[in-house]
Amino acid sequence: MRLFLAVVLVAVGSPVFAQTAAAGNPLAADVDRLVTEINPQVVAWRRDFHQHPELGNNEVRTAKVIADELRRLGFEVTTGVAGTGVVGVLKGGQPGPVVALRSDMDALPVTEQVDLPFKSTAKAQWNGQEVGVMHACGHDNHMAILLGAAATFARIRDRIPGTVKLIFQPAEEGPGGAEPMIKANVLNNPKVDAVFGLHVFPFPAGSITYRSGPLMASADTFIIKVKGRQTHGAVPWGGIDPIVIGSQIVLALQTIVSRTVNITEAPAVVTVGRFTGGNRSNIVPEEIELEGTVRAFDEDVRQNIHDRIRSIASNLAASAGATASVEFGLGYPVTRNDPALTERMVPTLRRVAGADNVRVGPLTGTAEDFSYFQQQVPGLFVFLGVTPKDQDWTKAPQNHSPLFFADESALPVGVKVMTNLALDYLFGLPGAPSKGGK
């Protein structure tokens, strides 16, 4: 993820359009002023969330803080959505489309090693043991940024042409909170026309990285169980050895990507991370188990890989007189930015963050359940850099590390990006229908 493609933007339409796109929505100057005014509160929110992290589907305190703040700002608030989710709706003073902004809320079972005045010392139960809890993926920043956007919208409400819906989602890290929120009708009443999200990442602080089309991979797990026939290790012909069959399956799985996936169009990964079986050196076991992950950037490729894994496992096992079962744990779909929406909103990103700070990024094998929202309505998801500018961002600790650190200088950039994406969309900029149209 250290190589970037150059971004070339071609002006579209008349000189008037170009000037409008450069100027942004008529509230842009007010947004800049308000974001500066409220930044101390945004920092305070972020530090509070960071110091009091909660694991997925247990974001009770977090949800209460968010709901209380949204009510104070005049939003219509719904709590308990898909568990601990919070939704805030603000109707502008003028008619128009409905735009949604999303933030995740959950933390990770990680013990923080960053020495901060607001360092997390929280503990929780995870997989039957006590663990440290940390916002090691930066969701504390996301929540503070979205509350900052909420505070900004509240002060310019009468001039907003449309409706803003803020979605605070539980359990992004798993088991996944976006899909249950969608099933709870979060994208309706009022019906959302477009959705935006961001994620902090160890790129240079204040920079924005985006990509049209596929951005983040789908992520699925699989378990293959091979059942043979147990026998003495000195008499292997007296049984059916599942270890040998499992080894053949591991090797054959590597031909899926190398021989059946057009990697020039859509990269993919098939990895076996666990091979379990047997308990003595002189016993051929009855059964072995393989566990792995599949990453893909195209839904057809994703399904084809699943089919190939089933076929390889079952046929190799059958050829040796064994049986094999394959179970998939379906993870998140491909995070795919709507191309038309992306092209439309890139001028907003460049205007807000500065043209030199906006980059087209590479595909990344990480996954995000924001993808579920994008399957329902056009969506755009971007990365906000949070590595201090005096540090080498290529060597910064990654998300999920106990040393992950977010430079708070990026917070106002995040608030401006999210606020202006929503407003430019509602005002029909750039090149979209006039305000009030859909």
Answer whether residue 416 is part of any domain. yes
Co-location of 158 and 285 in the same domain: no
Instruction: CATH number of the domain at 48, please.
Output: 3.40.630.10
What residue numbers bound the domain in which 92 lies?
21-216+334-426
**Cis upstream peptide for 347 (omega within 30°):** no
Co-location of 204 and 160 in the same domain: yes
Co-location of 285 and 248 in the same domain: yes
> According to the model, what pLDDT value does residue 330 have?
83
Co-location of 234 and 158 in the same domain: no
- Reading the chain (438 residues) residue by residue, the pLDDT tens digits are 222 223 333 333 333 333 344 568 999 999 999 999 999 999 999 999 999 999 999 999 999 999 999 999 999 999 999 999 999 999 999 999 999 999 999 999 999 999 999 999 999 999 899 999 999 999 999 999 999 999 999 999 999 999 999 999 999 998 889 999 999 999 999 999 999 999 999 999 999 999 999 999 999 999 999 999 999 999 999 999 999 999 999 999 999 999 999 999 989 999 999 999 999 999 999 999 999 999 999 999 999 999 999 999 999 999 999 999 999 998 899 999 999 999 999 999 999 999 999 999 999 999 999 999 999 999 999 999 999 999 999 999 999 999 999 999 999 999 999 999 999 999 998 644 434 433
> According to the model, what pLDDT value does residue 24 have?
81
Count of domains observed in the chain: 2
Please, are residues 282 and 234 in contact by the beta-carbon 8 Å criterion? yes
> According to the model, what pLDDT value does residue 250 have?
98
Co-location of 145 and 209 in the same domain: yes
Answer whether residue 407 is part of any domain. yes
Query: What pTM was computed for the model?
Result: 0.88
Co-location of 48 and 89 in the same domain: yes
Domain boundary among 307, 329, 351: 329
Answer whether residue 116 is part of any domain. yes
Co-location of 207 and 227 in the same domain: no
Domain boundary among 329, 350, 385: 329
Instruction: CATH number of the domain at 309, please.
Output: 3.30.70.360
Distance CA 432, CA 251 (A): 51
Domain boundary among 288, 309, 329: 329
Q: Which residues of 405-430 are buried (b: 16+ CB within 10 A; e: fewer)?
A: bbbbebbbbbbbbbbbbbbbbbbbbb
Supply the residues annotated as catalytic.
332, 408
Co-location of 242 and 105 in the same domain: no
Residue 253's CB: how many other CB atoms inside 10 A?
A: 23
Answer whether residue 253 is part of any domain. yes
Answer whether residue 1 is part of any domain. no
Co-location of 321 and 414 in the same domain: no
> According to the model, what pLDDT value does residue 429 have?
83
Answer whether residue 130 is part of any domain. yes
Answer whether residue 3 is part of any domain. no
Co-location of 176 and 240 in the same domain: no
Structure tokens at 419: 């606020």
End-to-end CA distance of the chain: 36
Answer whether residue 359 is part of any domain. yes
Co-location of 177 and 243 in the same domain: no
Co-location of 135 and 78 in the same domain: yes
> According to the model, what pLDDT value does residue 23 have?
66
> According to the model, what pLDDT value does residue 155 have?
98
